[in-house]
Structures are given as structure tokens and as C-alpha cells.
Amino acid sequence: MSVTRSRIVGCGAYLPERRVTNHELAGRLDTSDEWIRTRTGIGQRHIAAEGEKTSDLATAASRDALTNAGMSPDDIDLIVLATATPDLTFPASATQVQANLGIAHGCAFDVHAVCTGFIYALAVADNFVRVGQSRGALVVGAETFSRILDWNDRGTCVLFGDGGGAVVLTPGEGEGDSGDRGILSTHLHADGRQRDMLYVDGGPSTTQLAGHLRMEGRDVFRHAVVNLAEAVDEALGANGLEGRNVDWLVPHQANRRIIDAIARKLELPPEKVVMTIDRHANTSAASIPLALSEAVHDGKIRRNQLVLLEAMGGGFTWGSAMVRW
Ligand code: ACO
């Protein structure tokens, strides 16, 4: 039987040039490399240059993804940009990416699900592709969280970084083995009752200012482990798989201890988990496409392998995607 699935045919990444180490932060805050590393696994983060916007990061990652897919901007008829740090309140930063790439056809919009944003955007684009509404979709996660951090709050500012990642989706049709390749499932969740545990204390219709990120770290941690464990079970169950069938776990990179807990639950050894948190910190919606891009270009993720993506973020939102590469 012929199955139409969306396939990821190219991945791309962009990280701002400036790297800020834990030691540098310890020079201006009451913190230490040792505290940050043991609690989170983070060693450094990239920070966007002055004037470097989310759409710039997204555009660079998109260009990289298009090159790796062997496609041109003309082949793209859908851009879904996951971001919680848009250039402006409107228009959508996706339209700036579209203009930067010289595309004047198709549609472009932002999706906002904070750290789960890339999974949400992937699910939306996957549905467009599978119903035939898109022949070439750019799914991008890009963030400049450095702009919404309270740099005097050591409990949050050490955790995040800036970056952009992108994938290109096309419809894949075929029989047997090749027909099974592509996005096998996506599952999305939200529970708005938990929105006060992780939020930004500003916005156009409340303070008219962008605001700063606020978080109840311990509660977020506790919910993340529970919700992500349920999300991976759901993805495995929907596909008739077990944890040991997964070749690669590509998790949202929020905290090494959260990632380790999920890997243990799946009974996956550390070498099957793509880990970038040490170098990128938490880049919110960009973290999964950045990690995917790195793992593909390092030759880790290969054709026909099973790749499980999962994320959780403010809202709370959480979700998963199972991909046969
Ligand atoms: N350096 C040194 N000390 C610090 C720092 C810091 N950067 N930050 C907090 N502390 C202190 C606190 O003040 C506290 O001191 P006290 O005991 O004297 O009051 C002590 O360290 C312990 O603080 P906790 O917040 O209880 O530390 P915890 O072990 O919970 O670790 C952390 C905090 C790392 C934020 C953890 O709760 C966490 O990772 N939570 C998940 C948050 C997260 O990942 N958010 C991202 C968005 S959601 C997502 O992507 C899943």
C-alpha cells in the first residue's frame, strides 16, 4: 500500500558567534561553573549579537537546511516558525524569514508553544504535507531568550541560550520499507492550569513591554519528568514499539537530569541520546532542530533509524514525534 508521510529531507542550524561560559557568568553573578554543571549539565551558551534578531537566526538555519536538502527557496510553500521571542509583536517573524529567503508564494506563520514549539510546528507542518496542502515545508525553531532574561536572577539566566534550527519536510510516497520512512506520529498536549510556573511577566496587552522570564524551577522539573515520561509512553504505544526499539532520543535540551531520567525510563544507554545542552544550554524551540542537525551531520542518525523527539515547556505544553529517518 502506498503511504504518504512527511519526510525530513534536510536539517540546518545556526548559533550566534558569541559564547558565554559559566565562568564568565560567575564573574558577574553569585554562581559557579560547578553549580550550573551539576544542576543542569550546561557549560556554555551562545548569545545573539546586538541587532541580531530571531528571524536572522531562523533565516540562517533555514538556508543551511535548504542546502542540505538540495532544495531552493522556490520549492518552499509553507514556513512554520516556532518561537516565543518574535522580532515584533506582529507581523509573524516567519514572514520576515520568508522575505529574507526571497519567497513570495505560499504561507508563513509563527507557532508559539515555548520549549515545545518545534514539536507543535512539526505536527502542524506534517498535517499540511500529508493532506497535500504543502509540497515543501520549512519548520524552524529560533529564539533569542537572552532578550527576555532577568540577568540579575541567577535561578533563570544561567539556563538559557540563543540559536536557530530548521528542517525541510516533503511528501514521501512509496511501498514497504521506503513507505515507512518519515514522521510516524505526533502527539501534542497542553494544560493551561500550570501556566504560572513558567511565564514572562510582560506582553503587548498587559504591560506593553516584553517582560522577563519567571520560573518555579523545582515545580517545572517535577512536572517535566512526569509529563515527558507519559509522552514517550504515548509515542511508543501509538506505534506498537518499545523503548529498546528507539535508535535515537533527541530531547528538548532543558536540563541534563531531566533527559537522563527519560533515557532511563526508555532503557536507552547514554550513547543513544543526543545531548547538546553542555554547549547550547536551553534554546527553547530551537533546541531539538539544533540537536537533530548536529546528530545528522555527525553521521549518528542514519536512514531507516527510529528517532524519538520530545519536549515540554511553558503553558505547560508538551509532546512527542516519532520519526523513521
Ligand atoms: N548558582 C548558584 N546557586 C543557585 C543558582 C545559581 N545559578 N540558582 C539557584 N541557586 C540556589 C538557590 O538560591 C537555592 O539556594 P538556597 O538553598 O540558599 O535557597 C539553591 O541554589 C537551590 O535552588 P533550587 O531552585 O531548589 O535548585 P534546584 O536543585 O531545583 O535546581 C534548577 C534549580 C536547575 C532551575 C532546576 O530546578 C531545574 O532545572 N528545573 C527545571 C527548569 C527548566 O528546565 N526550565 C526550562 C524551561 S521548561 C523546560 O524546558 C522543561
In this prediction, residue 148 carries a pLDDT of 98
How far, rounded to the nearest angstrom, does the alpha carbon of residue 75 sit from its chain's CA centroid? Answer: 23
258: exposed, middle or buried (C-beta count within 10 Å: 0-12, 13-18, 19+)?
buried
Residue nearest to atom 1 of ligand 1 (CA): 31
Residue 149 corresponds to which amino acid?
Answer: L
Per the CB < 8 A criterion, the answer to whether 105 and 76 are in contact is: no
In this prediction, residue 314 carries a pLDDT of 98
Q: What would the pLDDT profile of 26-39 be if each residue is shown by its tens digit?
A: 999 999 999 999 99
In this prediction, residue 1 carries a pLDDT of 46
Catalytic residues: 115, 252, 282
In this prediction, residue 180 carries a pLDDT of 84
In this prediction, residue 15 carries a pLDDT of 98
| All structural domains of the chain | 3-174 (3.40.47.10), 182-324 (3.40.47.10)
In this prediction, residue 291 carries a pLDDT of 98
As a whole number of angstroms, the distance between CA 163 and CA 158 comes to 15
Pocket test for ligand 1, best of 114, 115, 219, 220 (most atoms within 8 A of CB): 220
Q: Please identify every stretch of the chain with a pLDDT value under 50, giving residue numbers as ranges.
A: 1
As a whole number of angstroms, the distance between CA 189 and CA 120 comes to 9
- Report the separation in Å between the CA atom of 39 and the middle of ligand 1, taken as the mean of its atom positions: 7
For residue 65 the three cell numbers come to: 537546511
As a whole number of angstroms, the distance between CA 201 and CA 222 comes to 22
**pTM to 2 decimal places:** 0.97
Pocket of ligand 1 (CB under 6 A): 31, 35-36, 39-40, 115, 154-155, 158-159, 198, 215, 217-218, 220-221, 224, 252, 254-255, 282, 312-313
